[in-house]
Amino acid sequence: MLCELLDGRSYTNKELASAAGVTPPTATAHLQLLQSAGLVVAERRGRCVFHRLTSAEVAHALEQLASIAPSDALHQAQRRKAGALAPLRSCYDHFAGPLAVAMTDRFLSRGMLIERNGGFDIQPDDVWQKLGVELPHTVGKQPFARPCMDWTERRLHISGPLGRQLLSHALDIGWVKRQTVRRGLVLTMPGRVAFQQILGLDTHAVGAESAAS
Amino acid sequence: MLCELLDGRSYTNKELASAAGVTPPTATAHLQLLQSAGLVVAERRGRCVFHRLTSAEVAHALEQLASIAPSDALHQAQRRKAGALAPLRSCYDHFAGPLAVAMTDRFLSRGMLIERNGGFDIQPDDVWQKLGVELPHTVGKQPFARPCMDWTERRLHISGPLGRQLLSHALDIGWVKRQTVRRGLVLTMPGRVAFQQILGLDTHAVGAESAAS
DNA sequence: GTGATCGTTCGCTCATCATCGAAGCGATTG
DNA sequence: CAATCGCTTCGATGATGAGCGAACGATCAC
């Protein structure tokens, strides 16, 4: 269930039950456990109850666990999934995978972001607006952009409010679409053009309907 | 048991059994589980068997879990411990806590380390030798210095081979000593002098035999 | 060799908890 | 209002596995 929720979206009891291969009552019991442990939060909308991870910290901890988990038969299915969605995916609420790393590198080399003691300082630039990012008016206590270690790439990419804005804008405007496979994203043609024009990113290897097993 | 092992040291079956409040047979069974899960490794020396965490990755994942764990009664004891050892401690095999963060800042501001894409590039400097650090002769694939997020400070400090060398040298030369309380380190007078002279660090608030509960 | 210490194996017990079917509740649809 | 759908509660069951004491093997001290 937690792996299912790692994409940052909300799922209903029924969806999580079928994902875990159990009946709804069992899923209810388990989700109550997760909720009392503070790992997930539930939100009632109509007759449906949507569950999602509490915070990016929880997602991060899960990723850490996944990175040290042995590859026994139980996790084989999850691993296969993870392999299939390698090139471009979402990590909780922001981009992950090679494209996310490439974007981050580009921001850094252009001076739009500056690395400082494990955080990112954002610099004003009109490119941000093109990417749908609204710069913070006030300098809050929470960092606007935070680094997130990608455990397949072993490189940093952007999480925090900035990462959230980048992904949600890309989804809104249709640059990327959610794949049916969990956590997978597929780059659309407008998205390819946009990333090429705005950032000069070569997206030839990203988001193609992968045939790799 | 895992919390006990977080200081990077090896512990015997008996020690871990008493730390967990169970009998040796139970500890044996549990440690075999942890071993088959790849979390710990066992090493036989004489009639004793020493258990330690498999890697820094495991330690890191545990820290991540601790950072999202709710503070219910079960973990109260651990929390109290964590509170007591705040100023200076070890994280698996390297320094942690405010002093570690201050050291890292000093290395960065002096240009001895350069932050780059989530890693640290080390620069030649004769100060390294004074700190007991042997610079790597070949540029290996594994980064020599890696950042480690301290979940109490929420700042980066140094792990990896560099962090390991810094701590082991400081222990060897008597700059710091292991506290009886787990993971705690206490700064000795020579250590104070050394950090002041070599790095200009003010250590007035660090390592004093804390009276805080 | 003898005794002490440490760890493991064995067999057993007991509590816990995951799981399910059936029934109940609330919301939506017609 | 009636029917449907989704989620939860309830009660019962069954299996898992944590835990212990006792016995055994291995190592060290004298």
pLDDT digits (tens, 9 = 90+) for A157-188: 788 788 888 888 988 888 988 876 556 677 88
Q: Is the CB of A47 under 7 A from strand D?
A: yes
Q: How far is the CA of B47 from the C1' of D15 (A)?
A: 37
Quick one: CA dihedral B169, B173, B175, B181, positive or negative?
A: positive
Which of the residues in chain A have pLDDT under 70? 70-87, 117-118, 138-143, 149-155, 180-184, 205-213
Domain limits of chain B?
Answer: 2-82, 86-199
Burial B44-63 (b: 16+ CB within 10 A, else e): eeeeebbbbbbebebbbbbb
Asked if the model's pLDDT at residue B117 lies above 70, the reply is: no
Q: Would you state the pLDDT for residue A152? A: 57
- Amino acid whose CA is nearest the C1' of D28: B47
Question: From the CA of A115, how many Å to the nearest CA of chain B?
Answer: 7
Q: How far is the CA of B23 from the C1' of D16 (A)?
A: 21
Contact A187, A90 (CB under 8 A): no
Q: What is the mean pLDDT of residues B123-130?
A: 88
Say yes or no for a CB contact (<8 Å) between A105 and B117.
Answer: yes
In angstroms, the Cα distances linking B191 to A96, B32, B145, B187 are 43, 39, 22, 6
Class at the top of the CATH hierarchy for domain B2-82:
mainly alpha
Rounded CA separation A187/A179 (Å): 10
- Amino acid whose CA is nearest the C1' of D27: B47
Contact B152, B82 (CB under 8 A): yes
Q: What angle separates helix A189-199 from helix A160-173, to the nearest 10 degrees?
A: 130
- What's the pLDDT tens digit per position in A117-146? 667 788 888 888 888 888 877 655 566 787
Say yes or no for a CB contact (<8 Å) between B70 and A149.
Answer: no
Rounded CA separation A197/A199 (Å): 6
Say yes or no for a CB contact (<8 Å) between A118 and B156.
Answer: yes
Contact A201, A99 (CB under 8 A): yes
Surface of A (65-84) touching B: CB under 8 A: 65, 67-68, 70
Q: Dihedral (C-alpha) B90, B95, B100, B105: value to the nearest 10 degrees?
A: -150
Q: Would you state the pLDDT for residue A69? A: 73
Residue A21 CB contacts under 8 Å (≥ 6 apart), including other chains: none
Q: Would you state the pLDDT for residue A150? A: 62
- Chain A contact present for B58, CB below 8 A: yes
User: Residue B59: which of B13, B15, B9 has the closest Cα?
Assistant: B9
ipTM of the complex: 0.65
- Chain B contact present for A114, CB below 8 A: no
Q: How far is the CA of B23 from the C1' of D19 (A)?
A: 8
Q: In sequence order, what are the beta bridge partners of A187?
A: A176
Closest nt by CA–C1' to B45? D27
